[in-house]
Structure 1
Amino acid sequence: MAIQSKITVHPVPAPAGSKADFVAELRGADLENLSEHDFAVIRDALYTHNLILFKGQQGLSPRAQYELTRLFDPTVTTYGHGKTLDAKRSVLHPDLKTIPHQPQVQVIGNGPVASYEGLENITLKHPHHRTFHKTPISDDEDRDNTRFYRWHIDAALYDLHPPRVTSLMAVSVPKTAPLNLKYDDGTGDELSVPRGSTAFVSSYTMYDLLSEEDKEFARTTKAQYAPHPYIWMSGAKSRSDGLGMVSEGLELPYTELPPIEQEKVKILPMTWRNPVTGRLALQVHPSAVEKLVLKDGTVIEDLKEVREIVHRLQRPGIAPELVFPVDWEEGDLAVFNNHGVLHSVTGSFLPEEVRIFRQCNMAASEGPLGPLPLEVSA
């Protein structure tokens, strides 16, 4: 008799008026003691739905979170951003604290924390769009309104391969009134989100929305990322919808970056293939991309043009009805397909509001799957 897992998969219905149907809740999992059969169910659910949630995981250890995350790529142990966080000029530096006894797991959140998992007297700071956007929401509107901070994939995008999955664990969650999220891009688009929600969109849907001409372009074009991209972009500012940067020539010149090894510069397909379903995702980090390499070898080097092309392709995929904003509760563990969704921080908290999350991902053992040759010639 075949051994059956006790884990059951329950697709999460899209919210009213929404088409965000790429989420599932998994029940019955003992994440501290997973069997091979259990993980087979989890992996299939992850790549079928692309964002999976486990409720009631308050006691989950950082070690178990790490082990679950690593099962998707068992040979890896290096945190997905490597030593990026050590660079104080990086836009990522203020946002994460490393757990001493489990360095692949980072602590993020907001407010003063006296002691947590070996970290003592730390102050966490929830990313706020005013530090990253060119034109932030006014201070008097800030408590009731928000923006997408930065749409992204979790990846160093220099030297290391993009992590296959990321796990996010909600340890402490202050509950307050929902916020009105503004795109402020001239469309009038808005969305109600829980305060501090992590917003997700499906990059598979983003690809499916393209015209046939744009699908062909996306299948046959590669994105070249800036060297040390989170330092490179540190002087620039984001668009109001969080989907890429405003081009004002404020990126740091190569001479002001750490030493660059050309073989470590990442040139990745614009479309990444799902290993289970075979679907293609339009998967580009819009803030870090610097050049586009076309199928005939031509390179588009004009940064403003590159950003306009990427934004035009991606913007339909972040329409309000396609966004799934997670309404976090303490004990929630989310695992998402980092090769198939984009996500963004939202919201703001008062300095005294304490919020603690754990994040884990590992640099992948190999690069993402690109489109199949048959698809390229279709």
Structure 2
Amino acid sequence: MQDDVKKGPSAPRELRFEAQRIAFGPMMFHAAMLLRDLGILAVLKSAGAAGLRVEAMAHEAGVSVYGARVLIEAGLGMAFVEPVGTLEPEGPYRLAPLGSVFLQDAMTRANADFVRDVCYAGMPQLEASIREGRPAGLAVFGDWPTIYEGLSKLPPKAQESWFRFDHYYSDSAFPAVLPRVFQDRPRRLLDVGGNTGRFALQCVRHDADVQVTILDLPGQLAKAAENVTAAGFAGRVGGHALDLLDATQPFPTGFDVVWMSQFLCCFPEEDVVQLVRRGAAALAPQGSLYILDTYWDRQRNAAAAYCLQATSLYFTALANGTSRMYHSRDLIRCVEAAGLEIQEDVDGLGISHTLFRCRPR
């Protein structure tokens, strides 16, 4: 096989370079995180256009000259740094535009921390996860069937990065969706998979009369209760513990709104259908079921679609081994199979979220 590779046609130079970026990507990722977390990128930012020599940046960042040198040279390869004038081994170097984005961009920071702290150690088990239909990589954290049972028990750094990643994307859409959800003045709202109570608190602050029930696993409800009590809304936000995957357990009923935010992507299609069906059964007459999520086919740019396609690998290797970030048509098909129709379909909310307003046929 090696002879076949040697005799094969040469790839165009730019494609070969992109292939090498992928081949060495896992190593360069750690170098990028160290350039950020050891303060080297920040030191170069402070130095401005004049840049710094390697010895000076090592001193300011508190690392060895050797360590600074290998990281800066990796930074050159990633286009994080650039030489000032003629390239000399000892510099000076300055922060390049891409390095500035990696240092300061909130989305990039949330994604990078999530990959390092939550995904990286378990990702070598991706093949086993695909072959066996289970999150084989989750074993690096604990013996749970899915990550959701273990969220409250994750190591502090992993837990912090998981929630920051989740909240970064959901929080961006809440201001745009709240007026739509409350356009008919719902009095009772069921937040399915409400997690830490973040959306529930947004609701009770938005509308002084609404009562919210969070439906989730006991561990998540305990954390939500802490947050709700601390915010002073314990009288208007309650919890209902339920194994969401046990289809024999009905949801509580009589709600004007059933809300599912960044929730259905956590389940395979067959479970999506039964969850939507159970959500519809929880509605009061004339109630609406809302689904807020991101779909890789409806993103504004290739970078956003790439992030979602990569996030599917997290679901495979660590979350549950069976779900993914969906193409919108797949989710629509599940909604229809559950006996609902989509009455409103709104794109471009927050960071390219889509909101479906659904009602039983």
TM score, norm. by length of structure 2: 0.24
Larger radius of gyration: 2
Q: Which has the higher helix share?
A: 2
Q: Which has the higher strand share?
A: 1
TM score, norm. by length of structure 1: 0.23
Higher relative contact order (CA 8 A, sep 6+): 1
